[in-house]
Amino acid sequence: MNEDMVTLVAPLTLLLGAGLLSAGILSFFDIHFFKNKTVELAALASGLALIVLTEIIFATSGPSIRFLNGQRNDLLECRRDAESALPLERHESSRQIHEYILRCMSGFGYEWAEAHRKCKEEPVSTNPFCYLPMRTFDRVVTQILMAFE
Q: Which residues, in sequence order, are CB contacts of 117 under 8 Å at separation 6+?
A: none
Mean pLDDT, 10 residues at a time, over the chain (149 residues)?
Answer: 64 87 87 86 91 77 60 90 86 82 91 84 84 85 75
pTM of the model: 0.56
What Rg value do the Cα atoms of the chain yield, rounded?
Answer: 22
Strands (E), the chain: 110-112, 131-133
Write the DSSP string, 97-133: HHHHHHHHHHHTTEEE---SHHHHHS--TT-GGGEEE
Structural domain spans, the chain = 3-61, 67-147
Distance CA(25)–CA(41), nearest Å, equals 9
The distance from CA 26 to its chain's CA centroid, rounded to whole angstroms, is 35
Of 109, 108, 103, 101, the closest CA to residue 82 belongs to 101
The pLDDT of residue 80:
92
The pLDDT of residue 3:
56
The pLDDT of residue 2:
52
Distance CA(86)–CA(74), nearest Å, equals 18
Contact 134, 109 (CB under 8 A): yes
